[in-house]
Amino acid sequence: MPRPAAARKGRIEPTGADEDGRMDDDDEQTRADFGDAVNMTAGELKDWLDTDDSKAVGQKDGGGESTGHRSGRRIVEILGKKKADLTDADLAHMRKVVGYVRRHEAQRPKGDITDTDWRFSLMNWGHDPKKD
C-alpha cells in the first residue's frame, strides 16, 4: 500500500524519507529493481521514443499514444532526477516498470527478437532485451 507523500517547503519529499532526506529500505529496493529492469540510458530511450517503431507498438486508448510510449517518456524524466528528488509517484511508476518488464520478459518469443513488436514494446519501457 503506497504511503502518502510528505510535503516540506512546498515540494514533495521521497517516500519514507527521514528528516535528512534518506530513503527507506523499500525505496532503495525499488531503485535497485528499477536499475536492473531499465537497461537503456535516458538518451537511448529518448531517441528510441522518436522512432516510428516505438510509436507503432503497444496498447492505445482511443488511438492516441500507447501506454508504453507514455511510460517511456516518464522513465526519461525519472532517469534525469537525483535520488533525493524522487517522489512517491516516481517510485510507484518505477515499481510499475519493474513489474511490466518482468512479466513481458517471461513471454519471450522463440527465435530472433531483433525486429519484433515484443522487443519494441519492452524498449518503450526502457528495457532492450538485446542488451541482456
Which tens digits make up the pLDDT trace of 79-116? 999 999 999 999 999 999 999 999 999 999 999 999 99
pTM: 0.80
Give CA angle at 66 (46, 53), nearest 5°.
55
